[in-house]
Structure 1
Amino acid sequence: SKRESASIRLDTMDEGEGEKTSESEPVRHTQPLCRFFSQGRHCNFGKRCRFLHIRDDARAHKEKTTGTPSQSDVTLSNSEIPGGNVGYRVAPAAGHRPCRYFLSGHCTMEDRCRFWHPPQLPPLDDQPVPGNYSRSAPRIQPVPRPGILQDVKLCDLTEDLAKQLRDTEIRQLKKRFPKEQLIIQERSDGKVTYYRASVAATDPDWPFDLKEIDIMVSFPDNYPQEIFTLDVPLDQDLPAVMSRHVQEASLEWLQAKHATNQLLGKAELLFRPFLRWLDRSLERLFTEGARQLKRDIDLEKAGLQFISYQELQATVSEKSANDHSCEPAASDSAAADEDVSDEGERTVEGEKSVQQEGPGGSEGQEEEDAIHFVENIKISDPRRGTEVKLLGLRLGENTATVVAQKITVCLQCNRCKVTADLTLTGRTPCTAQCEKCSASINAAFRPCMLHHYSDVLGYLDLHNAAPADLVLQECELSVGCLSCSQDVPMQNLSYGQTKEFNCEHCHSKLSILAESTRFQYIPPRANKPDLAATNSHSWHRDQYPAVQKGKPLPEKGTCKHYKQSHRWLRFPCCGRAYPCDGCHDEDQDHPMELATRMICGYCAKEQPYANGKPCISCGSMMTRGARTSHWEGGLGCRNKVKMCRNDRQKHANTNKTVSRRAAGQKK
């Protein structure tokens, strides 16, 4: 019978001879097997395939009797296995190796895999000894093996099983890293053991010079119920900023993965999944850490220091704790010194009332103190008045800071709309009188410090006037050198042109570039009583600048000389903007130079001078187009169909006699 099961019987009739094979004389067929079907894969030909659809002799016999088994049906009966013990599982076919993907956790081929998918085996110590099997003996439920299963249910997790999982994780760690890449350290008390290993990037296109990173892990006693601790040592070639970023991102991933497992009700060994995630995300983490490192280096060059919100809140909480520990009189005086601000919003009594509210009030107190402390760090004076900002500001590598000592601003009277220049110095109020309506104009300038991360030149406090333009060429600036930390005076700065000069002390190269100026009115706060809030809306409209980005210029940039020119021209001789050269000559007494920049009359966008081209911001034509419906000496329209009927060139040479020879040449 075994020989019959191992042989293949053919029932087909040969067309030439017409003979059929008999059952008494089995013939062993030498036809090759289908390589798709024998490997457990799908054959597209099905029954039409000319190769044999059979896996092996043992499976062929089982298919004839019970059908095709699956991967999970691999437990043999008592008569098939000598020995007699129940629960012993073997491979479904001789010579099949276990699937390494199934052992690691998951195999995408599932039942179609040609390798052996072993079930949940009992521990190695409880392996059965071959003996006599009994068909009536009940089957033993499989016990999870830590070496094969990577996760178990929380309801089935016991202390012994958790200890086995922890030992399995440590064995896998030691097996994964060789001795020269793994350092085992124990704490002095011997309770905690640290494993330090070097993790290298497997990406062949790794862009960084540093290809590996050292990590230090330790597994708690109740692992995997809790995540393992992870540290990135600072005693390696990786900068401290990048090390902290990699450590924080890794801890976030571990906590998120552990929380997901808690929701699913399972405990999982997370070290190997963490290594796979770290390998995939190491380039991204290095890139983000390098950006943070560059930011810190730039801030250090500029003489600034970045303070995170967490550090700031911790500082404020420590300070408040120290104040509570001091005497009442001393705490009151310190609190009064802290709460004094430029606007006088908070008082000592308000702080005392907040402190007496309880634990909830103390938390609100700390958050409020942190917010006010951040505001005081950002700017010493509150933002009010008209903000003067230099757009397109670019400072050289050795240029640290820029402070305006004196500025010349073009103001427009709110009553008669006449413009005039006024020179202002830092924090010194100036009073002037309009030449046309004799209105009193008051102005003051509060300078700010320009650097690589701030383009605010200062704030204007104006009365009965609105800013129209900043004459940057007549402003006196003080530039701070990054090499020697000395201030250098600088003048004659023009829009759109890079001003390069050398430091007077260390001769370092300094450079400044500004594309344009923007004025922005900052309305007063609504929670403060102010006389401006009680005035009419027209008074508020007068406070806004005459030239605002995105809004048209006064009269859309036209003047009495040119009604079709919707732009202002900035002349390099004086640095001022006028609608045309005639307006420049009427206001100035020096020779005019050709303009190099212009301001769009529709959107107030300052840009390089270009004749006959639309605005780079809004796309509007600032001058009348060259193509018109008239001839204009050949500069206008040349199509007689589209030309104006009143143009005498439309019907020119209409009745002219043409010779037959010329007409023939035209044809």
Structure 2
Amino acid sequence: CFVPLVLTAVTIISTYFWLHRHVQQASLEWLQAKHATNQLLGKVELLFRPFLRWLDRSLERLFTEGARQLKKDIDLEKAGLQFITYQELQATATERSESASDAADADEDDGNVAESENTEGEKSVQQESPDGDDRQQQEEASDLVENIKISDPRRGTEVKLLGLRLGENTATVAALQITVCLQCNRCKVTADLTLNGRTPCAAQCDKCNASINAAFRPCMLHHYSDILGYLDLHNATPADLVLQECELNVGCLSCSQEGPVQNLLYGQTKELNCEHCHSKLSILAESTRFQYIPPRTNKTGSSDVHFKTIRDPAVQKGKPLPEKGTCKHFKQSHRWLRFPCCGRTYPCDVCHDEHQDHPMELATRMLCGYCAKEQPYGNGKPCVSCGSMMTRGTRTSHWEGGLGCRNKVKMSKNDRQKYANSNKTVSRKAAGEKK
């Protein structure tokens, strides 16, 4: 019984040191950020008391994040995976380049000695078995594999899932097929287009007959990346991602197997069980953001290829929606509603019925017309991001069944309740009773 106690003690000590290192790293980052801010503002400030207040408020959060990160690392280690940060990769590459340069300098200094030794070595190599040549070729091949530089895939329009949360047993998520709502650059008409990662797609605008080309390059979603993929578009800009019609492939961390998942909704956690080990998997995405990435430039400042000026995505977080979210039916409603029946966004239910042929379900989420922030549906409430009122609220000038304006002086003249009972004939008996 002594061995389990020792193992438990070692585990507790290692966990404590890991959490201590996580808290220490977070504290160092806070101090560096505070010091940089003070340098920019040109002021001197004592940071001991502010640091204690920040630590008191954030200690529970830091320990919780550290414990979750430790559990993820343990699960990845059990699954045979290892997460290496970009800083570690960069440091390793720098060390290898420095060692290679030092080795090259040493070879130049000992060049004469190496030539004399090579002549003797060639004679001995001819007498050796051919196994030495095979080993040398394998070593050279491995060096070539290590020196391969992967091209930068960050080009086109980046599709990012904001607020992505994967369950503890959910390892990776990859998109097999997506449905994107594209807006024509010429006539501003929107249409849905289904794309997969294998072949590009060509379409034609229904209104102006402009040719639209689109291609999708999927990426791997995991706990450290929320990028779904990249879009290569021509004569169109992305307006929305219909997540409900996307086909995804989710990987299980317990058994390293993959399975399909469909019918995802924004703001709702999709829970399912692995088809192989029946582990519980979950996916949650709050919204989607499209960001155009300009082409890379050379050191001289000119790009590799001359590209035409590409428009920004039609819907961007922080910028107003087209016409500030209004439509021809409701001029005072500055928002788009996301209907769960189809997963698409429309300014109102009438617009939904004009474009879709299925019964409408009440919207559960909405986009602010002033900042394009997607949020849960709330009538008469300000935006959670910019604080703007998306609807007119209680400032109405109509009767609305008694729930709106009840003052006939302020009531709109187009409302029939304004002049109701104003010209009614009153009998002498009723008038006498009133007196």
TM-score computed with the length of structure 1 as normaliser:
0.46
Q: Give the 5 Å matches for 1:371-386.
A: 381-386=152-157
Contact 1:242 1:286 in 2 (8 A): no
CA distance, structure 1, for counterparts of residue 12 and residue 243 of structure 2: 48
The residue that corresponds to 1:238 in the other structure is 13
CA pair 336-585 structure 1, distance change in 2 beyond 3 A: same
The residue that corresponds to 2:350 in the other structure is 582
Deviations along 1:296-338, whole A, 9 cap, x unmatched?
A: 4323424442458468625642564257547789999999876
Contact 1:242 1:290 in 2 (8 A): no
Match of 1:321 among 74, 92, 99: 99
CA distance, structure 2, for counterparts of residue 573 and residue 322 of structure 1: 60
Match of 1:449 among 200, 206, 220: 220
Deviations along 1:63-91, whole A, 9 cap, x unmatched?
A: xxxxxxxxxxxxxxxxxxxxxxxxxxxxx
Report the secondary structure of 1:412's partner residue.
Answer: strand
Match of 1:565 among 305, 327, 333: 333
Q: Give the 5 Å matches for 1:144-155.
A: none
Contact 1:557 1:579 in 2 (8 A): yes
The residue that corresponds to 2:6 in the other structure is none
**Alignment-mate amino acid for residue 472 of structure 1:** L
Contact 1:387 1:522 in 2 (8 A): yes
Aligned residues, how many?
354
**Alignment-mate amino acid for residue 603 of structure 1:** C
The residue that corresponds to 1:426 in the other structure is 197
**Alignment-mate amino acid for residue 422 of structure 1:** L
Q: Which runs of 5+ in 2 are unaligned?
A: 1-8, 25-54, 112-135
The residue that corresponds to 1:341 in the other structure is 149
TM-score computed with the length of structure 2 as normaliser:
0.68
The residue that corresponds to 1:148 in the other structure is none
Q: Is 1:635 aligned to residue 403 of structure 2?
A: yes
**Alignment-mate amino acid for residue 521 of structure 1:** Y
Report the secondary structure of 1:620's partner residue.
Answer: coil
CA pair 424-341 structure 1, distance change in 2 beyond 3 A: same
CA distance, structure 2, for counterparts of residue 563 and residue 645 of structure 1: 18
Contact 1:568 1:578 in 2 (8 A): yes
CA distance, structure 2, for counterparts of residue 387 and residue 580 of structure 1: 28
CA distance, structure 1, for counterparts of residue 140 and residue 101 of structure 2: 9
Contact 1:416 1:437 in 2 (8 A): yes
Contact 1:468 1:547 in 2 (8 A): yes
Match of 2:242 among 448, 467, 471: 471
Q: Is 1:297 aligned to residue 71 of structure 2?
A: yes
Contact 1:569 1:579 in 2 (8 A): yes
CA distance, structure 1, for counterparts of residue 331 and residue 62 of structure 2: 55
Shift of 1:659: 8.7
Report the secondary structure of 1:613's partner residue.
Answer: coil
The residue that corresponds to 2:293 in the other structure is 522
CA pair 512-630 structure 1, distance change in 2 beyond 3 A: closer
Q: Which runs of 5+ in 1 are unaligned?
A: 1-233, 250-280, 344-380
CA pair 342-615 structure 1, distance change in 2 beyond 3 A: same
Contact 1:414 1:466 in 2 (8 A): yes
Report the secondary structure of 1:405's partner residue.
Answer: strand
Contact 2:19 2:66 in 1 (8 A): no
Shift of 1:503: 0.6
**Alignment-mate amino acid for residue 393 of structure 2:** G
Report the secondary structure of 1:295's partner residue.
Answer: helix
Shift of 1:462: 0.9
Contact 2:273 2:279 in 1 (8 A): yes
**Alignment-mate amino acid for residue 608 of structure 1:** P
Contact 1:547 1:553 in 2 (8 A): yes
Shift of 1:465: 0.7
The residue that corresponds to 1:593 in the other structure is 361
Contact 2:297 2:304 in 1 (8 A): no
Contact 1:597 1:607 in 2 (8 A): yes
Contact 1:643 1:650 in 2 (8 A): no
The residue that corresponds to 2:30 in the other structure is none
Contact 1:441 1:463 in 2 (8 A): yes
- Pairwise CA RMSD of aligned residues? 4.1
Contact 1:296 1:306 in 2 (8 A): no
Report the secondary structure of 2:13's partner residue.
Answer: coil
Contact 2:154 2:293 in 1 (8 A): yes
Match of 1:548 among 316, 328, 347: 316
Contact 1:627 1:635 in 2 (8 A): no
CA pair 592-660 structure 1, distance change in 2 beyond 3 A: closer
Q: Which has the higher contact order (CA 8 A, sep 6+)?
A: 2
CA distance, structure 1, for counterparts of residue 357 and residue 62 of structure 2: 57
Report the secondary structure of 1:238's partner residue.
Answer: helix
Shift of 1:600: 1.8
CA distance, structure 2, for counterparts of residue 456 and residue 424 of structure 1: 16
Q: Is 1:498 aligned to residue 269 of structure 2?
A: yes
Q: Give the 5 Å matches for 1:64-79.
A: none
CA distance, structure 2, for counterparts of residue 236 and residue 579 of structure 1: 56
CA pair 289-525 structure 1, distance change in 2 beyond 3 A: same
Contact 1:495 1:513 in 2 (8 A): yes
Shift of 1:626: 4.0
Contact 1:472 1:495 in 2 (8 A): yes
The residue that corresponds to 1:621 in the other structure is 389
CA distance, structure 2, for counterparts of residue 439 and residue 390 of structure 1: 29
Contact 1:241 1:292 in 2 (8 A): no
Contact 2:237 2:313 in 1 (8 A): yes
Q: Give the 5 Å matches for 1:10-409.
A: 238-239=13-14, 242=17, 294-302=68-76, 303-307=81-85, 309=87, 313=91, 316-318=94-96, 320-321=98-99, 324-325=102-103, 341-343=149-151, 381-409=152-180
CA pair 306-660 structure 1, distance change in 2 beyond 3 A: farther
CA pair 610-450 structure 1, distance change in 2 beyond 3 A: same
Report the secondary structure of 1:239's partner residue.
Answer: helix
Contact 2:289 2:317 in 1 (8 A): yes
CA distance, structure 2, for counterparts of residue 651 and residue 575 of structure 1: 47
**Alignment-mate amino acid for residue 408 of structure 1:** T
Report the secondary structure of 1:547's partner residue.
Answer: coil
CA distance, structure 1, for counterparts of residue 98 and residue 278 of structure 2: 48
Percent identity of paired positions between Structure 1 and Structure 2: 65
Contact 2:19 2:67 in 1 (8 A): no
The residue that corresponds to 1:459 in the other structure is 230
Report the secondary structure of 1:317's partner residue.
Answer: helix
Contact 2:296 2:304 in 1 (8 A): no
**Alignment-mate amino acid for residue 317 of structure 1:** E
The residue that corresponds to 2:125 in the other structure is none
CA distance, structure 2, for counterparts of residue 531 and residue 325 of structure 1: 34
CA distance, structure 2, for counterparts of residue 312 and residue 385 of structure 1: 25
CA distance, structure 1, for counterparts of residue 321 and residue 386 of structure 2: 14
Greater share of helix: 2
The residue that corresponds to 2:255 in the other structure is 484
Contact 2:172 2:250 in 1 (8 A): yes
